[in-house]
Amino acid sequence: MNITSIIRTTLLVLSCNIALSGCCHLLKEDAPTPAKYSVENKEMNAIYHFAFDRSELSEQDMPALNEFATFLHANPSMKAHVDGYTDAQGPYNYNLNLGLRRAEAVAEYLQAKGVPAERIEVNSYGKDKLIDEAYTLNAHAKNRRAVIYVTEEKAVV
C-alpha cells in the first residue's frame, strides 16, 4: 500500500466518523427533559460563581436569579436551599464564613425579589466538596460558587 492510498483511506475513515458522530443522537431514544428546578433533579441546580475572595453577585447572575425567584413565586410549596462554597485557598474557618456570605448574598437577592426569608435556607461548605480538586486558577474559579436547589415544604399539622 502506498502513501497516497493510506492518506485516502485515513481521510475516508475520518469523514465517516465525523458524519456518524453528527447523527448518533438519532439512534438514541429521546428521554424526557427534566424540569429545570425540581426536587427530584438536584443535578439541575442553579449555580452562581464569584470572584476571588468576594461575595457580591455579578450582573450576569441577575437574570437567572430573577428566573429562580419567579419559579419560587409560582411554586409556593417549594423551599430554596442555598449552599455557599469557596476554592481550596485560605484558612478553613475563613472559607466557611466566605461561603456563608455567598449563600446569604443569593438569599438576600431572592428576598429583595419578594421570596419570604422563611422559604430560603442558607448553608456553607467552605472549601469542602470541591467540584475540581486541581490547584489551578480554572479549578479555583469553578469552586467559588453558590448552589441553589429546591425541596418541597412539609405541611405543618
- Rounded to the nearest 10°, the torsion over CA 56, 61, 64, 69 is 20
Position with higher pLDDT, 1 vs 132: 132
Euclidean distance between CA atoms 48 and 112, whole angstroms: 17
Contact 82, 106 (CB under 8 A): yes
Locate cell 450582573: which residue? 59
What are the chain's domains? 31-152 (3.30.1330.60)
Task: Check residue 30 and give its pLDDT.
Answer: 43
Grouping H, G, I as helix, E, B as strand and the rest as coil, residue 112 is: helix
C-beta separation of 47 from 145 below 8 A: yes
Residue 98: band (very low, low, confident or very high) from pLDDT cuts 50, 70, 90: very high
Question: How confident is the model over 110-154, as pLDDT tens digits?
Answer: 999 999 999 999 999 999 998 888 888 998 999 999 998 888 866
| Helical residues (DSSP H) of the chain, grouped into ranges | 3-21, 62-74, 92-112, 137-143
Is the pTM higher than 0.85? The answer reads: no
Check pLDDT > 80 for residue 4: no
